[in-house]
Structure 1
Amino acid sequence: MNPPLTDVEVRILGALLEKEVATPDYYPLSLNALLAACNQTTSREPIMRLDEDAVIPATVALRRRGLLRQIQRAGSRVTKFEHRLDEDLRLVRPELAVLGVLMLRGPQTPGELYARTERLHPFADLAALEAMLESLITREPEPLVARLPRRPGQKEVRYAHLLSGEPTQAESSGTTEEPAIPTRRAGVGDDRVAVLEQTVEALRAEVAAVRAELDAFRAQFG
């Protein structure tokens, strides 16, 4: 895409793509709803802290490029926003699902994408998703997805969108060992599981602190 989209523009379009399917009753999104979607702490990587001063100019730029539509219905003072990626880039729902998750969560393996696209479009199996990735890589007149070089210690390749241009060195290299392909069942609630794990750890720490205080109290009167 020329010129490449900024990180804020990518986040806006990705959030609109997600909410169109995840919360259709509230789509198109108002500015406040769009801000909340962009700043979510779940299903986002990296987490952003955007405000109106960052989002409004980005929506204007996207509208000028034909990638976003601004709507104000008769009798309403609320301006709402919807993406036009399906129209402008002529993408179908499975393609939008893959592209949207890559836009919101960065480079990922096929297994991660298979688990995380279920809410937007449930692929029949991993092979179906990999076929969709291949079609986005070979798409004419220009590809929308790239296959990244395998990182040291990695068992699987990762894929990244090209709406912001070629992936940076930080995205295409690293030393972290890649986890095994997650199953659909294991990956669907990965964010919720992470939050629960953090909560459990916090509760364990609180219990340990209470036990330490109780032991100290008993020592005083034992």
Structure 2
Amino acid sequence: MPFDPRTQPLTPIQARVLATLMEKSRTVPDSYPLTLNGVVAGCNQKSGRDPVMQLTDAEAQEALDALRQRTLSVEIGGNRATRFEHNFPRGAGVPDQSAVLLSLLMLRGPQTAGELRINAERWHRFADISSVEGFLNELAERSDEKGGPLVVLLPRAPGAREPRWAHLLCGPVDVASLAAAPAGGEGGTGGLAGRVAALEAEVAELRGVVRQLCQELGIAAPQPPVSPPGQD
């Protein structure tokens, strides 16, 4: 039977670890599957994460073990280090496009369909917002036989132009509290902040890949450029 969050919800840490595996499989495929260090670094990013977490190796390992028991992740033994990959689409019984949207909701919190489409650009290019909404509606209307709904549409927040979606992988959510939480407007400063955060996350990921490659090759990693005075 597919994963059912109503009877075995994920903890916030498990959701962060799972979503990080799903993100890195698409954004940095050259360094995927991830080592434990890679998992922890991805979970603790400060950009593209809401909320920001500070997980320890032990917490991440415990979450990986729990995900593996639910067939949502896989452990791969290697000559140098054990690596981990996700098995979410098969374990949860959802298509890849739906898995992308769920991962973004786990990483970044509630978002509108438009925000999800923008944030998914490096993972999967949806044709339009209607396509995103189609997959979200399927997740919201998921039958009991398949494990029940995996997302919920929140009431429109005061001053917001569009309602946001939230995931249900960690169990039921407080719809009223989430709906009242501040949200960035599409196309305004919120949209710009999202794009900046995505670019910062991409740079951080690429630096991590370079560091890992340098370590494996036994050479010194290049240092990031120093900002000119007055441009911190």
**Matched residue of 1:189: which SS?**
helix
Aligned residue for 2:180, secondary structure, equals: coil
TM superposition shift of 1:28: 0.8
Shift of 1:42: 1.3
Q: Provide Cα deviations, 1:64-111, integer angstroms capped at 9, x if missing partner.
A: 1111111103xx141111111111122222111111111100101111
The alpha-carbon deviation at position 17 of structure 1 amounts to: 0.4
User: In the alignment, does 2:52 pair up with 1:47?
Assistant: yes
Deviates more, 1:83-92 or 1:113-122: 83-92
Q: Structure 1 residue 190 and structure 2 residue 196: aligned?
A: yes
1:28 equivalent in alignment to 2:33: yes
- 2:17 corresponding residue in structure 1: 12
Task: Give the number of the structure with larger relative contact order, counting CA–CA contacts within 8 Å between residues 6 or more apart.
Answer: 2
- Is 2:136 the counterpart of 1:133? yes
Identify the residue that residue 216 of structure 2 maps to in structure 1.
none
Aligned length: 196
Structure 1 unmatched ranges of 5 or more: 207-222
Mapped partners of 1:186, 1:52: distance in 2: 33
Other-structure match for 1:156 = 162
Residue equivalent to 1:63: 68
Supply the AA of the counterpart residue of 2:180. G
1:120 aligns with 2:123: yes
Matched residue, 2:212: none
Question: Contact between 1:145 and 1:161, CA under 8 Å: does it hold in 2?
Answer: yes
How far 1:172 moved relative to its partner?
2.0
Provide the aligned C-alpha RMSD in A: 2.6
Normalised by the size of structure 1, how large is the TM-score? 0.79
Uncovered stretches (5+) of structure 2, i.e. residues with no partner = 202-226
Within-5 A mapping of 1:44-123? 44-73=49-78, 76-123=79-126
TM-score in terms of structure 2 length: 0.76
Q: Which residue of 2 aligns with 1:212?
A: none
Measured at CA, do residues 58 and 171 of structure 1 come closer, stay the same or move farther in structure 2, by a change above 3 Å?
A: farther
Quick one: distance in 1 between partners of 2:118 and 2:46? 18
